[in-house]
Chains A and B, each alone.
Chain A
Amino acid sequence: MTAVTDEVLTFDEAMEKYDPVLGFEVHVELNTKTKMFSSAPNAFGDVPNTNVTPVDLGLPGVLPVVNGVAVESAIKIGLALNCRIAEKCYFARKNYFYPDTPKNFQTSQFEDPIAYDGHIDIELADGTVFRVEIERAHMEEDAGKLTHMGGSTGRIQGAEFSLVDYNRAGVPLIEIVTKPIVGAGSRAPELAKAYVAAIREIVKNLGVSDARMERGNVRCDANVSLKPKGQEKFGTRTETKNVNSLRAVEHAVTYEIQRHAAVLDSGTPILQETRHWHEDTRSTTSGRPKSDADDYRYFPEPDLVPVVTNEAWIEKLRAELPEPPAERRKRLQADWGYSDAEFRDVVNAGVMSSIEDTVAAGVSAAVARKWWMGEISRRAKLADVEPAELGVTPELIVELNALIESGKINDKLSRDVLDGVLAGEGTPAEVVEKRGLAVVSDDGPLLEAIDGALAAQPDVAEKIRGGKIQAVGAIVGGVMKATRGQADAGRVRELILQRLGVEG
């Protein structure tokens, strides 16, 4: 655990006095087959230092060659963010010494990004639309991965030595930089989360990135500053690095707003620096001072020729773009027949794509919604993960639903079946078998239980006979209790009414 020593104001106190200004740098790892400047595979999770060529190790004499697919991906991202695409742009070297960077410079773009001057409309939970202006999106390469050994914390402090894996070195990255975001007020944390979610959704929708935040495919640096209400001039900002989940983005922005407010209230200036986010304590700690005068000695990369685009190429890529997420949402809501409130809940729960996949796999929109908004969301909340991260596949839901519709199991039992499947006990059918979860469909034991229930509640039985059919629920409840839920409630109802000689 990281000790929290910062003074913080409550969020509401901070909001009374200050207006937050946000800014984001989101790094998106592309899912190209090969790396940005070499033919090495771009793959996650392989044996360290196996996905490397001499180029990725920065060996003497090597030269980079631009990955054309990565350039197209960059243009697609630019177009999806309503950016202008540069007719001609250059790569530049960002020079700094660090052992995860094999050449001790990162090949990036500086003065001429491939995409610039865009915007994206972010819809908040209550339907408010907030426009975020995009400054630029540029191409660059990822660094390798350092693992610090021998210390207790896994951090470089206290470590005896460090290992470096260059598999990630050279993986294509698109860095998306916003213009300063003002006017979000108390909704800043919510907007922060929604913005990163939107970027993730866009790049996933474009098919250019796997967009898995837990693998670092989408990484966010969040800039926060506060200015006293009414003041025009921005305050000093801090940059919280590598905030790598949607919740963390929201929490980190909240925390920095609270911390800045306390620092400013105490009359101390904010130190311009990077901050590290700690999920365990939901707080940030000081990183390194970062001034605008950081000297990376950028200069045009002489080993690469400029990337030159043309109208025909850009228009071809524009034509290939998938439906934008906002339009997609409109279409899906209409297709599914959800009310505005229902649909917003679905979007906010982050299960829209899951529902789409599940409907495509063969269940009704209502059934898909019941699962994703009900049982799966409930479990996700308990586990503190996103619903999509639970490992429930559309096919699983289709199978569960088929079992329910065939009367083999009921809704209540289906949760146990889901438990079994997620515990690795096999397919739903196998779990039903192994756990003995099938509903009691043999009328014999049911009739026995019904007789028992009717005998226990003779007054209710009388009411039903007298035509108050809605009273049948009490008897059904008794039967379900007696069968420990393993009965098909519909069938039980039928049998009760038969037994009492009443037309359902």
Chain B
Amino acid sequence: MTDLIHFSADTLAQKLAAKEVSAVEVTQAHLDRIDAVDGAINAFLHVNTDEALLVAAEVDKARADGDTLHPLAGVPIAVKDLIVTRGQPTTAGSRILEGWQSPYDATVVRRLRAARMPILGKTNLDEFAMGSSTEHSAFGPTRNPWDLDRIPGGSGGGSAAAVAAFEAPLALGTDTGGSIRQPGAVTGTVGVKPTYGGVSRYGAIAMASSLDQIGPVSRTVLDSALLHEVIGGHDPHDSTSLTDPVGALVEAARMGQVEGMRIGVIKELQGEGYQAGVLTRFHESLELLRSAGAEIVEVSCPNFRYALGAYYLIMPSEASSNLAKYDGVRFGLRVVPEGTPTIERVMGATRAAGFGDEVKRRIILGTYALSAGYYDAYYGSAQKVRTLIQRDFAAAFEQADVLVSPTAPTTAFRLGEKLDDPLAMYLNDVATIPANLAGVPGLSLPGGLADEDGLPVGIQLLAPARQDARLYRVGAVLESLLEATWGGPLLAQAPEITQSAGGK
């Protein structure tokens, strides 16, 4: 039953409910796939074989007993290794947490367990989610299933690549500046950053608390909606969690209707800096939406040009404080230097050895930006820009129900290509960052392959805060229109993964 890995989560759920397949078979098929291809992809940092099969067996038994089960019960899932899990290591892609096991589950993990979804393992990421290529993982880069010499995006390259390589039908990601959507774009998968507060952050290792958000990674828009409904909703452990109910997201995805909707094209998120093949696919998508009855309007968000600058002040500022706890005192790596090991020297040596360069770069940036005498100019100004960006969004949503842009300016670049140029790397997130600064939801879905390199292009949809359903409603329509032009899912065009190409 190797075909099992190619089914969507929705299809698997139906087959499980109809008892056409067992949860153990589905889970085993994905474990086998991981075994076969992950040597080349390196999407997983930990494979949770025993527990996943145990949960699957319990689901099968419960189903046989006639128990009422969650629709996704028995559908396996991969979890980004930034999200804490009992019984498995959680590393955040960092040496400083190597070997650490959380004594508690993240709220989203508790919800997966409550739905009885077998957790296949933990996926690779840029260290502490800091990066756009997954090359900053302390445990080696993840490779893009479309071309093993290329990056899978980041920071959630592991989750996106796992789903694109059919190692998992679903995965969880986290998105601080685009870490779910940009990997989705460059791997030809779907990724959603929910409204800030829509999904509990409790148990997501914090990079920038005011920007971080957990969200679904999948191969179809409907599958993301299904997963979003599992993980979303209020959590008393997260003070920033919204009290609203999660909303009828699955229904929106199934209904998929754009007729009469106003779809705004953001003037500032196209043109210079965007790869030609990306723009071609983007404009085709606009035409498809227009053909389906949507009204395409142009909106201007003039302050978006300051978004990247503001982001690279706010994010490192918060990160410098959030990452202070990794000091060797209570958990994780402890390095005791030669000579008299005072607490300052132990903390210093631990952090020097445990953090990678990108993490150190951001801690230093953030520490500087928060320093007395610089706070107003840097952190303070950045917060003002944030307000301006929120106003831009508010004005744009006066004119449009949903906004649209390319998810990333380019297709997947080559491994190592931007490793020595942090600024070039940061520019990859130029289109995704505004949503995090404003707290609005965003979805990336495959928009086809760029003509010049044959690599996936992502289309980003943005909606007002708490209107995540609109993303699914429009995304599902665009997805079906695009698949009609391709004659099937985009990932059907992806090359076979050969073990030799990458190798660990």
* CA–CA, A299 and B239, complex, Å: 17
* CA–CA, A64 and B202, complex, Å: 9
Among B88-135, those with CB < 8 Å from A are: 90, 92, 97, 100, 102-104, 106
* Cβ contact within 8 Å between A61 and B321: no
Instruction: Give the interface size class of chain B.
Output: 35 or more
* Cβ contact within 8 Å between A60 and B90: yes
* Cβ contact within 8 Å between A63 and B201: yes
Tally A residues with Cβ within 8 Å of B. Answer: 30
Pick the residue among A63, A103, A105 that contacts B239 (CB under 8 A): A63
* Set of chain A residues within 8 Å of B106, measured between Cβ atoms: 61
Pick the residue among B202, B317, B344, B371 that contacts A61 (CB under 8 A): B202
* Cβ contact within 8 Å between A97 and B201: no
Task: Evaluate whether A304 and B239 lie within 8 angstroms (CB atoms) in the complex, with A58-B330, A95-B324, A99-B343 already known.
Answer: yes
For the A-B complex, the count of residue pairs with Cβ-Cβ distances under 8 Å equals 100
* Cβ contact within 8 Å between B317 and A299: yes
* CA–CA, A257 and B327, complex, Å: 41
A59 at the binding interface (Cβ < 8 Å): yes
* Cβ contact within 8 Å between A65 and B343: no
Among B289-342, those with CB < 8 Å from A are: 317-318, 320-321, 324-325, 327, 329-331
Q: Give A103's nearest chain B residue, CB to CB.
A: B325
Among A78-100, those with CB < 8 Å from B are: 93, 95, 97, 99
* Cβ contact within 8 Å between B239 and A104: no
* Set of chain B residues within 8 Å of A105, measured between Cβ atoms: 321, 324
Q: Give A293's nearest chain B residue, CB to CB.
A: B372
* Set of chain B residues within 8 Å of A104, measured between Cβ atoms: 324-325, 327
A162 at the binding interface (Cβ < 8 Å): yes
B221 at the binding interface (Cβ < 8 Å): no
Q: Give A146's nearest chain B residue, CB to CB.
A: B343
Task: Evaluate whether A63 and B202 lie within 8 angstroms (CB atoms) in the complex, with A102-B325, A297-B371, A299-B375 already known.
Answer: yes
Pick the residue among A61, A103, A164, A293 that contacts B324 (CB under 8 A): A103
Among B134-162, those with CB < 8 Å from A are: none
Task: Evaluate whether A102 and B330 lie within 8 angstroms (CB atoms) in the complex, with A61-B102, A61-B206, A95-B321 already known.
Answer: yes
Closest chain-B Cβ to A475's Cβ sits at a distance in Å of: 76
A7 at the binding interface (Cβ < 8 Å): no
- Against A, the Cβ 8 Å flags (1 = close, 0 = not) of B219-254 are 000000000000000001111100000000000000
B270 at the binding interface (Cβ < 8 Å): no
* Set of chain A residues within 8 Å of B103, measured between Cβ atoms: 54, 59
* Cβ contact within 8 Å between A97 and B375: no
* Cβ contact within 8 Å between B239 and A305: yes
* CA–CA, A104 and B321, complex, Å: 8
* Set of chain A residues within 8 Å of B209, measured between Cβ atoms: 302-303
* Set of chain A residues within 8 Å of B239, measured between Cβ atoms: 63-66, 303-305
* CA–CA, A200 and B97, complex, Å: 44
* Cβ contact within 8 Å between A93 and B102: no
* Cβ contact within 8 Å between A57 and B330: yes
B440 at the binding interface (Cβ < 8 Å): no
Task: Evaluate whether A65 and B236 lie within 8 angstroms (CB atoms) in the complex, with A60-B90, A295-B371 already known.
Answer: yes
A383 at the binding interface (Cβ < 8 Å): no
* Cβ contact within 8 Å between B102 and A60: yes
* Cβ contact within 8 Å between A97 and B210: no
* Set of chain B residues within 8 Å of A63, measured between Cβ atoms: 201-202, 237-239
A62 at the binding interface (Cβ < 8 Å): yes
Q: Give B346's nearest chain A residue, CB to CB.
A: A99
* Cβ contact within 8 Å between B324 and A99: no
Pick the residue among A60, A102, A162 that contacts B205 (CB under 8 A): A60
* Set of chain A residues within 8 Å of B238, measured between Cβ atoms: 63, 65
* Cβ contact within 8 Å between A60 and B84: yes
Closest chain-A Cβ to B391's Cβ sits at a distance in Å of: 20
Among B340-355, those with CB < 8 Å from A are: 343-344, 347
- Against B, the Cβ 8 Å flags (1 = close, 0 = not) of A298-316 are 1100111100000000000
* Set of chain A residues within 8 Å of B100, measured between Cβ atoms: 60
* Cβ contact within 8 Å between B104 and A59: yes
Task: Evaluate whether A61 and B329 lie within 8 angstroms (CB atoms) in the complex, with A103-B324, A299-B317, A303-B209 already known.
Answer: no
* CA–CA, A76 and B29, complex, Å: 61
* Set of chain B residues within 8 Å of A58, measured between Cβ atoms: 325, 330
B203 at the binding interface (Cβ < 8 Å): yes
- Against B, the Cβ 8 Å flags (1 = close, 0 = not) of A390-401 are 000000000000
* CA–CA, A89 and B318, complex, Å: 20
* Set of chain A residues within 8 Å of B201, measured between Cβ atoms: 63
* CA–CA, A298 and B372, complex, Å: 9
Closest chain-A Cβ to B385's Cβ sits at a distance in Å of: 16
* CA–CA, A304 and B317, complex, Å: 16
B379 at the binding interface (Cβ < 8 Å): yes
Pick the residue among A54, A59, A95, A162 that contacts B343 (CB under 8 A): A162
* Cβ contact within 8 Å between B202 and A62: yes
* Cβ contact within 8 Å between A99 and B104: no
* Cβ contact within 8 Å between B321 and A97: no
* Set of chain A residues within 8 Å of B331, measured between Cβ atoms: 57, 59-60
Task: Evaluate whether A61 and B325 lie within 8 angstroms (CB atoms) in the complex, with A297-B371, A299-B370 already known.
Answer: no
Pick the residue among B97, B210, B324, B375 that contacts A60 (CB under 8 A): B97
* CA–CA, A132 and B476, complex, Å: 67
Closest chain-A Cβ to B307's Cβ sits at a distance in Å of: 18
Among A221-276, those with CB < 8 Å from B are: none
Q: Give A96's nearest chain B residue, CB to CB.
A: B324
Closest chain-B Cβ to A219's Cβ sits at a distance in Å of: 23
* Cβ contact within 8 Å between B324 and A97: yes
Q: Give A58's nearest chain B residue, CB to CB.
A: B325
Ranked nearest first, the 10 interchain pairs of A and B with the lowest CB-CB distance are: A104-B324, A297-B370, A302-B209, A302-B210, A61-B203, A60-B205, A58-B325, A61-B84, A295-B372, A99-B329
Query: B residues touching A (Cβ–Cβ < 8 Å)?
Result: 83-84, 90, 92, 97, 100, 102-104, 106, 201-206, 208-210, 236-240, 317-318, 320-321, 324-325, 327, 329-331, 343-344, 347, 367, 370-372, 375, 379
16 chain-A/chain-B pairs, Cβ below 8 angstroms = A57-B331, A58-B325, A59-B102, A59-B103, A60-B84, A61-B90, A61-B205, A95-B320, A97-B347, A103-B324, A104-B325, A297-B371, A302-B208, A302-B210, A303-B240, A305-B240
Query: A residues touching B (Cβ–Cβ < 8 Å)?
Result: 54, 57-66, 93, 95, 97, 99, 102-105, 162, 164, 293, 295, 297-299, 302-305
Given contacts A60-B100, A293-B372, list 15 more A-B pairs with CB under 8 A: A57-B331, A58-B325, A59-B102, A61-B84, A61-B90, A63-B239, A65-B236, A66-B239, A95-B370, A97-B344, A103-B324, A104-B324, A105-B321, A162-B343, A297-B370
